[in-house]
Each structure stands twice: as C-alpha cells, then as structure tokens.
Structure 1
Amino acid sequence: MTGPLRTALTSLTLRGRCLVAAGATLLGLGALLGEQPLVQLAVFVLALPLLSALAVARQRARVAARRTVAPARVPRGEDAEVLLEVTNPERRAGRLWLLTEALPAELGRSPRFVVARLAGGGTAALRYRVHGRRRGRFRLGPLRLRLVDPFGLVQRTSSGTDDAPLLVVPRVRPLGPGGPGGGHGGGGDGARRSLAVHGEDDVSTRAYRHGDDLRKVHWRATARTGELMVRMEERPWRAQAALLLDTRARAHLLSRAAVPGAAAGTAVPGPPGDPAPPPDSLEWLVEAAASIGTHLARRGAELRVVTDAGELDPTDGHGGHGRGGLGPGELLDRLAGLAPSRGTRLGPAVELLGRVAGDGPVVALLGAVGPEDLAELVATRSGPASDVAVLLDVGSWAEAGRGRRALSASARGTLSGQLERSASLLRGAGWQVVVASADRTVEAVWTELAHTRGSGTRSAQGVPA
C-alpha cells in the first residue's frame, strides 16, 4: 500500500494537496470534538483526491507527435513555423491533456497546448512559431504530456523521445558589385578560362613567393622591376578565393548571446533599419563571412574558409562548388555552429591560409589584432593589392552597450591605437583595409571597399563583379 499511496501523493497538484490538508484537519477536529458530521465531511474530502488519482492512473499516457518545420534552415533574427501533429494511438478517446513542447532557451518560451477528449486514432494540428535569436543547431521537442482529472487535483506527466532539428544560420546581406575577384580564370558562371600568352613580352607575371619554382622566374620582368618575378602559366583552374576568420575569444568583446547555452537577451542597438543587429563583434564577423563568401561563391569562386581553429571543410557535398571548395549552402551550415575559440595566435591560421589560398584573393576578417599578430600574415601575403582586410573596431561594441563587460577610457584608447597601427601595417604591405564598427552594416563596408577598389585597375584573372 505504501507504493500506490506514495505515487498518488506525488501526483497531487497544489490544489489536491490543499484539499488533503483540509480533509486531514477536518478529520482531526471531528475526532477531537466528537462531531460525526465533520468526520463524514473529512472522509469525503479525503476520498476525492484518491478517486481522482485512480481515474488518472487508469488513463494510458500515449501520444504520437510529428513535427514539420518551415523553413528548417532559418536566418538569424527570423521566425520559423512549426506544425505539431498530435495523434491519439489508443482506441478510446483521451481526456484532458496538457501538452508542453520543450524548446532551447535561445528559441523562446516553450509553447503550451490544451487538448480535450481527442478521439481514438484522431489527430490534432497545433502550430507555434520560434524565433532564431542566435545561430546554431537546435532540437525542437520532445513533447511533454500532463494528464489531469476534471477537478485539477491530480496530474501525471510523461515525456516522449521524438524531436525535430532546426538550423539557425547567419544572415546573408545583399552585397553590390565590386570587391575582390577570384584568381586563375574564373568567369561569372564559374567557367574555366586560361591566361592568354602571346609572346615573351606579353606574358603575365607576379611577384615571387616562397615555394615558387625557380625555373618559372621571368628574368626580363625581374630586371625591369628590380623585384624577383615569376611567370603565371596558362592553367585552366577555377576561380579561387579564401576567407580568413579571426574567431579567437580574446580578439572579440563577446555578448552573453554568443555563449552556447545562454538565454537570449533583449534587443541591442544597431544601425538604422536593422531589426536584428549582431550582438557583438564575433557575430558581425560571422555575418560578414556568410555574406561575402556567398557573394564570391555565386560569382564562380572556389571558396576556402580558414579559421584559427582550422579550415571549414565540406561535409556532405551539399551545395559544393568544387573540390575542396565550399558552396553557399555548405558555408552557411558550417558557420552556423562556429563558436569562439581559445586560440592565442593567428599563426596556425596564416600557415594554413598559405597552403590553400593559392593565387586568388584573400579576405581577412580580423578582430582586435596588433602588429605582432599580423607579422606572419604580412610575410605570407604581400604584393599586389588584391587582398582585403576588414578590421573590426571591437571597442565600438562596448560603447554600443553590447559587450559583456565595459571598457575603460584607457583600454578604449589602447584598442584605437592598436587598430591604427594594424591598418597602417597592412596598407604598407599592399592590402586594402576597411574598418568596421558596431554602427556599420556589412553592406556599408562592402560598398566602401568597392569604391576604394574602383580607383584601381582590375586584375586580369579576377572574377567579374
């Protein structure tokens, strides 16, 4: 008797417990005062929760759930609609069901539904919306079922094992023409093209880089320029482009929303017209990588993406553009789960970049970096102004109230000075440099880059805008 009684007591709601307490009090008073009506009333009050518990225990808590998420890949800041179809697999009609859909805190509050007397084999269609406040991979469900009696005295809870995936990817901002092109023969449709070599005087050349074959040295161009030059042979390669992402936690001022498992906070201030601005510099960097990478891939570039934690490789071939390259779909899938790293140096990323970038342009998206962080990058990539660096003014995110910690005036001054020195170093090495702050959109930075590049000559082997 101990087991059933304990189960019944643990299934009581607050109302049921209050009723049991009232019944026990009446029973005690009736016995103490010798009043039989009080004892009879106490027995009735105590019997009601027990009968309710028996009724709930006889119900079979079995519910089949099926979810349809549209869309299953949603950009950060937008909504997805979920169709939850609940089926009663029993022959008998169900009673009062209280349903709760378990959701990660990043997607909002868990929706609740009430389903009364669902016929055996019948299906109830329930709908709710989730808001993709933070990018990542999430699971919707499982469904929790609570069975209650008509008086609300007893409830029994059971959880299912079914769920459905939802992928929140970075936003892709519409970028205009301009920007860097891909190397070695990319057309707008990704066509293969060769460099025309009409004669010894018309051969295309470039500056010598470490590892180049000395047999390809073009001595006439070397004598004319005073710098060691090599021939660019006719090679039917795809267009190439590479992104370098600085995801080191120490290089960014992270908000709580960027920490996996953290609950979504309130809206943060941002540029006018942006309903869901990036909450910190890392999210801005990821959004820029998604926008620029998608733009280059759609123009035909074979895209390689390198971070300080390694290269983002294609996983299943979905949306792939070429061997080793990421297509737009794959790029967004990989960026969706990109988290801040614990790395301290850019050196490993720069070394990997030197192996995969080839002769195509590089777009480096960098957080708070100093000249000492850029030494290897400048040594690896220097020469014609085909590479682009976007330096994030990390301190501006603290001023906009988006960081987890505030910056003192001295720290803000240190970051500003470091930013100026880094920009000067990169420009001196032939890079195009644009500074991005919290109040600037990816589109605005790209437009500035296009205007800056418009005054120069376009590379003969670049991907056309």
Structure 2
Amino acid sequence: MGGPLRTALTSLTLRGRCLVAAGITLLALGALLGERPLVQIAVFVLALPVLSALAVARQRFRVGVRRTVSPARVPRGQDAEVLLEVTNADRRAGRLWLLSEQLPAELGGTPSFVVERLPGGGTAAMRYRVSGARRGRFRLGPLRLRLVDPFGLVQRTTSGTDGAPLVVVPRVRPLGPGGPAGGHGGGGAGARRSIAVHGEDDVSTRQYRHGDDLRKVHWRATARTGELMVRLEERPWRAQAALLLDVRAGAHLLTRAAGPGPAARSTPPGPPGDPAPPQDSLEWLVEAAASIGSTMARRGAVLRVLTTAGELTPTAGAAARVSAGLTTPELLDRLASLGPNRGGGLGHAVQQLHRAAGEGPVVALLGSVGPDDLTELVALRSGPSTDVAVLLDVTSWADPSPRSRRGLSATARAALTAQLEQSASLLRGAGWQVVVADATRTVEAVWADLALAGNGAGSRPGGGVGVPA
C-alpha cells in the first residue's frame, strides 16, 4: 500500500472504525472456534474499508472557487450575502463532495454543502449569509473539501488557500441638525469667515498656516514682521473639526470576543427597540465617532480624528493628505479595526489634539476619566468655545452580577459615579458643553442634547447638558 492509501486508512470515519473493529472480532472468533464462515465474513468486512480507502485515495480532482460578497462593507448588526461558486476544473465528473466554508467565529456558524457528481467544467452555485455582529476586518474561507466513499467509511479532507475579505464597519446613525460644526461649510450658519479691511496699505493680515493659498501671501507684512503673513479676505473657508477618542482598555468595560459560549450569546443592555445595541462602552464610543464624524465631514469640515492610540489617517498617501482630513469612507474603514489600547493617560492624544484642532470645534468622546486625566485637556482647551465632551457612564454596561467579567461591586459603582460627576463639573467650569451617555441612550439622543446646548436651551441647573443631578 502506498502513502495515499495509508493516509486514507487513517481517515476512517466512526462507521468505518466500528466496521474494522467488528471484522477483527469476527476474525478472532472464527480462528478460535475454527468456524470458516466466520473467517470469510470477517475477511469481507475488513476488505470493505480497504477498498473504500483505495477508491478515495485514487480520486483526482481540480476545483476552482470564487466568492462574491454583497456588500463587502457591511454596517455592524447587518448581514452580508456570499455567493460561493465551485467549479470542477477536471474533465471527469466529481464524486460526492462535502464542502464547508471556514469562517471566523464572530461571523456565525460554519455553512456546509453537499455536491454530488459535478460534471467536468461544471459550476455549482451556493449561497450563505454571514452576520456582522462584531466590527472588524475578516476573511472568508478557505473552503474545506471532504471526499467520502458511498458507504461513509472513509473520508479525505483538504483545504484550499482561497478567501475573500469582509469589513464590518460601525453603524452610522442619522443625526439631526445642530451640534458642533452645525453649518455646511459653503457659507451656511456654521461656516467661518475671515474679514479683510479694504486697502493695500491697511490690509488685515495673519500668520501663514499650513494649507493657506500662497497667492494670498502679503509680502510687505512678511518683510516687516520677518514671518510669512497672508491677507484676510471676506470669504467662507472650510472649518476644522476634531474628534478625540478615548480607547484605553482601562477606561471601558469590555466584553469577550464572540464565540460559542453563553457569554457571547447574552444580549447587552441598550436602548429600547435597538436590534443590535453596542455590546460595551467602547463600541458605543466608536459608533458615536462614526456618526458624528460623518456628519461633520458631510457638512464640509476638515475632520481630524485623534485617539489615545494615535491619529487616524487615510490609508493611502497618509503623510501627504493628513491635512485634508478624513472622508466618511476613510473614517469608517479606520474605525472598523480600532480596538482598545493599553495607554495610561490622555496626555499624548491631547497634545496632538491641540495641534490638529486649531480654532475648530472639538468633540471629546471619553470613557471612565477622572479629574487628573482632564487637567491637560482643560489647560489647552479652556474658555468659551464650541468644545463638547461626551462622558460615558461605563457602569451602565456592567452586568448585574459582580461575579461576571463585567460585574461591579456597589463600592466600585459608587466610586465611578462620583468620578463621573467630578469630571463633568471640571469640564463645565472650563467652558465645555458636557453630555453624559449611558447604555440606554442612543447617539441620536446625545446629538440632540448637543443641539439644545448650542442654542442655549436644555441646560439643567448647575450647567451642562444631560448630566444627572
């Protein structure tokens, strides 16, 4: 027997192993009792798996696989449909093929198919759906093919190297008017204007900023001051806007990755009627960043996104295009793979924010932070402004049982609640608009509170918006 046959014999199914055990038992009894019929039956029983293994080992096949994922970028909580096309590239008809698609556990169960006697050059089309329950970048495949004999005694398994990408991006919630950068960048209410005084000798100038039109350089003022100066004109210009995302692992209550266990099947807390609520505070923060950032970019703002793990930049030509800001597709692609980092504080991200935000509004999406974490942020962005802070009440994502991974004791809950109130009070005192979000609030509701705050309405006694008394 050659190598392929030995491999096939080691691939006996449970039925094949039981048949071999029965054949050996009959052979032993026949030899012991001197019963020739028993020996003959035993030889037949033992020969059947051998013949099946030989038949499976001699099978030759060439298979082509093609996948079409629709859509290839799916929002979290929705499904994608996959068209799997298997082509028999051999001239001979295939036999019984058992096909199974290997998928990450986050996308659901393993789809399986049976293809029997696919003619040479023929194609079998199969469809299955994957659930985008978890945000991230995934790869579908490869395809696993099992050859079995007609009696189900021997199977031969082989896997390909094919695959197709699937990106699960955060959901983008439809936000109403108002909020930071509420104008439309083309001369609307939120578009900033620079005012010039007419007259060449009495022109209003300012220091050159990266991205200014070099044709607007005022050479007399440049020669007088020794610094590059540009003329100010009465014209609308694209406002800057910046998002600060607190993605530190210690600032959130995180869930396990999806899997077959009971913890993965449990429904996280969320707003009533939401079929796919964020499973933890970090997912809520990412969804808020996707929704708010998309709204700002759509209104014409130059969007910069800073996280505690670094700035999110365009994937292609990042160094040359970082000053142009992120577009909505680029923002969603970068947020799709954003995970927690083990950074200790906000200091480095705040320094980057100070350089990137300029005079535009800042929206800080913060996890569990204390007054000490906010000292540098308040020092660099203080005074009356359009800056907004969304503080997450991470205790609302904790499981009721303190024995669970996300459980909190009464003492820990009280400490986190007191820290939340102190942080909100500190930011309000520095001129920030503050909103508190918990697991039961949607991004749309938080944005509506920001719109009320921008109109001077909806504030509760003691300042701030949406902060529990």
Normalising by structure 1, we get a TM-score of 0.86
Contact in 2 for aligned 1:83/1:125 (Cα 8 Å): yes
For 2:162, the equivalent position in structure 1 comes to 162
For 1:105, the equivalent position in structure 2 comes to 105
Please tell me the residue identity of whatever aligns with 1:423. Answer: A
Matched, 1:435 2:442: no
Distance 2:18 2:375 in 1: 72
Matched, 1:382 2:382: yes
Distance 1:91 1:264, change over 3 A: farther
Contact in 2 for aligned 1:369/1:422 (Cα 8 Å): yes
Contact in 1 for aligned 2:242/2:303 (Cα 8 Å): yes
Distance 1:146 1:339 in 2: 37
For 1:424, the equivalent position in structure 2 comes to 425
Please tell me the residue identity of whatever aligns with 2:295. Answer: H
For 2:194, the equivalent position in structure 1 comes to 195
For residues 89-117 of structure 1, the C-alpha deviation after alignment (integer angstroms, 9 at most, x for no partner) is: 11010010000100000001110000000
Contact in 2 for aligned 1:88/1:118 (Cα 8 Å): yes
Distance 2:322 2:412 in 1: 45
Shift in Å, 1:60: 1.4
Matched, 1:186 2:185: yes
Distance 1:4 1:176, change over 3 A: closer
Distance 1:165 1:119 in 2: 29
Contact in 1 for aligned 2:8/2:56 (Cα 8 Å): no
Distance 1:286 1:66 in 2: 33
Local SS of the residue matching 1:177: coil
Local SS of the residue matching 1:354: helix
For residues 1-48 of structure 1, the C-alpha deviation after alignment (integer angstroms, 9 at most, x for no partner) is: 484663232121110111011011111111111111111111110111
Shift in Å, 1:83: 0.1
Distance 1:441 1:191 in 2: 24
Distance 1:31 1:322 in 2: 83
For 2:464, the equivalent position in structure 1 comes to none
Distance 1:258 1:396 in 2: 20
Distance 1:12 1:258 in 2: 33
Local SS of the residue matching 1:256: coil
Contact in 2 for aligned 1:191/1:238 (Cα 8 Å): no
Contact in 2 for aligned 1:241/1:302 (Cα 8 Å): yes
For residues 179-200 of structure 1, the C-alpha deviation after alignment (integer angstroms, 9 at most, x for no partner) is: 01179x9327999974234599
1:226-375 counterparts in 2 under 5 A?
233-234=232-233, 237-257=237-257, 264-316=264-316, 323-375=323-375
Matched, 1:447 2:455: no
Distance 1:176 1:96 in 2: 56
Shift in Å, 1:266: 3.0
Distance 1:188 1:45, change over 3 A: farther
For 1:391, the equivalent position in structure 2 comes to 391
Local SS of the residue matching 2:185: coil
Distance 2:4 2:310 in 1: 58
Contact in 2 for aligned 1:294/1:328 (Cα 8 Å): yes
Please tell me the residue identity of whatever aligns with 2:104. Answer: P
Contact in 1 for aligned 2:98/2:146 (Cα 8 Å): yes
Distance 1:313 1:453, change over 3 A: same
Distance 1:289 1:356 in 2: 17
Distance 1:264 1:69, change over 3 A: farther
Distance 1:4 1:296, change over 3 A: closer
Shift in Å, 1:382: 1.1
For 2:225, the equivalent position in structure 1 comes to none
Distance 2:161 2:423 in 1: 52
Please tell me the residue identity of whatever aligns with 1:442. Answer: V
Please tell me the residue identity of whatever aligns with 2:134. Answer: R
Distance 2:156 2:366 in 1: 54
Matched, 1:32 2:42: no
Local SS of the residue matching 1:257: coil
Distance 1:296 1:55 in 2: 65
For 1:144, the equivalent position in structure 2 comes to 144
Distance 2:399 2:321 in 1: 40
Distance 1:291 1:33 in 2: 81
For 2:59, the equivalent position in structure 1 comes to 59
Shift in Å, 1:152: 0.2
For 1:228, the equivalent position in structure 2 comes to none
Distance 2:386 2:313 in 1: 24
Q: CA RMSD in A?
A: 3.1
Please tell me the residue identity of whatever aligns with 2:410. Answer: A
Q: Which has the higher contact order (CA 8 A, sep 6+)?
A: 1
Normalising by structure 2, we get a TM-score of 0.85
Matched, 1:133 2:151: no
Please tell me the residue identity of whatever aligns with 1:53. Answer: A
1:12-31 counterparts in 2 under 5 A?
12-31=12-31
Shift in Å, 1:317: 6.4
What residue ranges of structure 2 are gaps of 5+ in the alignment?
A: 206-230, 458-469
For residues 191-241 of structure 1, the C-alpha deviation after alignment (integer angstroms, 9 at most, x for no partner) is: 9974234599xx999xxxxxxxxxxxxxxxxxxxxxxxxxx9548642210
Please tell me the residue identity of whatever aligns with 2:186. Answer: G
Distance 1:264 1:414, change over 3 A: same
Distance 1:255 1:70 in 2: 28
Contact in 2 for aligned 1:87/1:123 (Cα 8 Å): yes
Please tell me the residue identity of whatever aligns with 1:84. Answer: L
Distance 2:101 2:187 in 1: 47
Distance 1:199 1:414, change over 3 A: farther
Contact in 2 for aligned 1:304/1:356 (Cα 8 Å): yes
Contact in 1 for aligned 2:29/2:38 (Cα 8 Å): yes
Identity within the alignment, %: 75
Local SS of the residue matching 1:290: helix
Distance 1:193 1:413, change over 3 A: closer
Contact in 2 for aligned 1:182/1:241 (Cα 8 Å): no
Question: Across the two proteins, how many residue pairs are aligned to each other?
Answer: 427
For 1:461, the equivalent position in structure 2 comes to none
For residues 294-327 of structure 1, the C-alpha deviation after alignment (integer angstroms, 9 at most, x for no partner) is: 0100011110000011100111269x99844000
